[in-house]
Amino acid sequence: MNKAQRATNTGTRGEQIVFVDDEMHIRRAGEQALNIAGYDVHCFESAEPVLVQLSEDWPGILITDVMLPGMSGLELMKRTLEIDRDLPVVLITGHGDISMAVQAIRDGAYDFIEKPFGADQLLEVAKRAMEKRRLILENRALRTELRDQLKEFSIIGSSSQIELVRNQIAKIAEVDADVLIYGETGTGKELVARALHSQSRRRDQPFVAVNCGAIPENIIENELFGHEPGAFTGANCRQIGKFEYANGGTIFLDEIESMPQALSVKLLRVLQERTIERLGSSKSLPVEVRVIAATKKDLREASSRSEFREDLYYRLAVIQLNLPPLRERREDIPILFQYFMEQAGRRYESAPPTPGADVMAELMAHDWPGNVRELQNTADRYVLGCFNSQSGLTNLSETTGVRPAATLAEMVACYERRIIEQQLAQHGGDARAAYTSLGMPRKTFEDKLRKYGIDKKQFG
């Protein structure tokens, strides 16, 4: 077993550095400094054996002298960037090679160190390069997780709360009972309604969304049920209402708490009899439609105050789905932010940047009164370069009077859980490979699986 293999097997953090220099004293000094800092160091005196060590998912960086026997450091950099264009390459240059090093950075090098250099300088550059590599790999793992989730679900996240919502959707999608979705503003009520429709036998029929709070009271009945010619002034021709248009499919009544009391009686009749009457007609028309309603209010409590019809509440809430606010599933923030950044990048034709640790810490600490919708707007601002990590969410918390609810320990736990899940996903559920790559003892790894309720089988 060679030295590189031993370093891979016994690394304490799983972060590796390939260090290439043909001068033995420089290799030994660099290896010693980097090993003390906790990195697994693979030393080589020439470039040719290095390329077999590298891959797109390799968790490390390359530090190489420019002047080498055989393949030069510049050629090694070029070949490395062909393997992974985002793999940080740090060049070691001799005196007088600065102009060449600057050109190399333009060609893709991460940074350069001029000989002679001290251990502190080497460690500072290595630390920055390794942080970049770590963020790149985390970003890729999130994108992979996103692709896997989007193959099956449109509801993104892996928290226990959102897993419960997905399971409930799967159970009731094929059942033709009406559903009431409860959740704060911005929690994704319409998204859940569309998921219910898309997984039902009605998936090939219309899905019609109606925002009851956005339609003026004097025209909402016409919007829902339609009218006959002459039903009122200006009604020159027949109009099909939303219920009739949704026949065979699903109608989604958002903000149902805004439904006028006078119309509630007619809606109750439609729900009970599955028939409608157009305005200006006395003929009942059958409609075969599933009704999904959504509210941000507690309708049971509203009905006790006579603000909502009690019989209508019980008719709507045959099945009730409760959506968790984002502050109760903070571990989903990284993957949701990644998803919204990619959406924004396509929309604005701009490559989404990789958020740094400071940005992610601020996202995890924020209380998100606007929930997922607020996070989506934040991702848009970040892609457009309008988000300042020092003030973007901090000021928002101050102006809204909302204080971050997560403690440092909670943020660390969320981050730790996400990293463990990413490693399990990357290694196909292989626990040994995951805890080895993390530089974590098996028992500690298993303790953390139990602590966070992570089932490694779901990653296999």
Q: CA angle 251-253-256, nearest 5°? A: 155
Question: Are 85 and 131 members of one domain?
Answer: yes
What per-residue confidence (pLDDT) applies to 158?
Answer: 85
Domain boundary among 368, 386, 406: 406
**Per the omega criterion (within 30 degrees of 0), is the bond before 334 cis?**
no
Question: Are 70 and 203 members of one domain?
Answer: no
390 has pLDDT over 80: no
Question: Are 338 and 352 members of one domain?
Answer: yes
The span from the CA of 414 to the CA of 334, in Å, is 10
Per-chain mean pLDDT for the chain: 84
Q: Is the dihedral of CA 113, 114, 116, 120 positive or negative?
A: negative
Strand (E) positions, 60-212? 60-65, 89-93, 111-114, 179-182, 207-211
Question: Are 436 and 358 members of one domain?
Answer: no
Q: If pLDDT is split at 50, 70 and 90, which confidence band does 63 have? A: very high
Residue 165 CB neighbour total at 10 angstroms: 24
Residue 450 CB neighbour total at 10 angstroms: 8
| Residue 265 forms part of a structural domain | yes
CA distances from 242 to 195, 209, 247, 439 (A): 20, 8, 9, 58
Domain boundary among 323, 348, 371: 323
Question: Are 88 and 114 members of one domain?
Answer: yes
Question: Are 168 and 261 members of one domain?
Answer: yes
| Residue 433 forms part of a structural domain | yes
CA trace torsion 25, 26, 31, 33 (10° rounding):
100
User: What six digits make up the tokens of 138?
Assistant: 């985390």
What per-residue confidence (pLDDT) applies to 457?
Answer: 76
Question: Are 15 and 128 members of one domain?
Answer: yes
The span from the CA of 453 to the CA of 460, in Å, is 16
Question: Are 234 and 358 members of one domain?
Answer: no
pTM exceeds 0.85, yes or no: no
Task: Say if strands 16-20 and 60-65 run parallel, antiparallel, or are unpaired.
Answer: parallel
Query: Looking at the 3D structure of the chain, how many domains does it have?
Result: 4
pLDDT digits 0-9 by tens, 287-341:
999 999 999 999 999 999 989 999 999 999 999 999 999 999 999 999 899 889 9
| Residue 153 forms part of a structural domain | no
Kindly state the average pLDDT of the residues 425-449: 84
User: What six digits make up the tokens of 335?
Assistant: 């993957």
| Residue 38 forms part of a structural domain | yes
Question: Are 116 and 168 members of one domain?
Answer: no
The span from the CA of 99 to the CA of 137, in Å, is 31
* Tokens 């409760």, located at residue: 322
The span from the CA of 300 to the CA of 166, in Å, is 24
Residue 249: closest CA among 221, 299, 208: 208
| Residue 151 forms part of a structural domain | no
What per-residue confidence (pLDDT) applies to 146?
Answer: 67
Burial of 418 (0-12, 13-18, 19+ CB in 10 A): buried
Strand (E) positions, 24-122? 40-44, 60-65, 89-93, 111-114
Question: Are 416 and 393 members of one domain?
Answer: no
Question: Are 316 and 229 members of one domain?
Answer: yes
User: What six digits make up the tokens of 65?
Assistant: 């002298």
CATH of the domain at 217: 3.40.50.300
148 has pLDDT over 70: no
CATH of the domain at 442: 1.10.10
The span from the CA of 254 to the CA of 213, in Å, is 8
| Residue 149 forms part of a structural domain | no
Domain boundary among 107, 142, 177: 142
Domain range spanning residue 213?
160-323
pLDDT digits 0-9 by tens, 187-241:
999 999 999 998 899 988 999 999 998 888 889 999 999 998 888 888 788 888 9
Choice between 398 and 156, residue whose per-residue pLDDT is larger:
156
pLDDT digits 0-9 by tens, 28-54:
999 999 999 889 999 999 999 999 889
| Residue 220 forms part of a structural domain | yes
CATH of the domain at 349: 1.10.8.60
| Residue 155 forms part of a structural domain | no
Burial of 454 (0-12, 13-18, 19+ CB in 10 A): middle
Determine contact, residues 93/112, Cβ cutoff 8 Å: yes
The span from the CA of 277 to the CA of 291, in Å, is 17
Question: Are 30 and 103 members of one domain?
Answer: yes
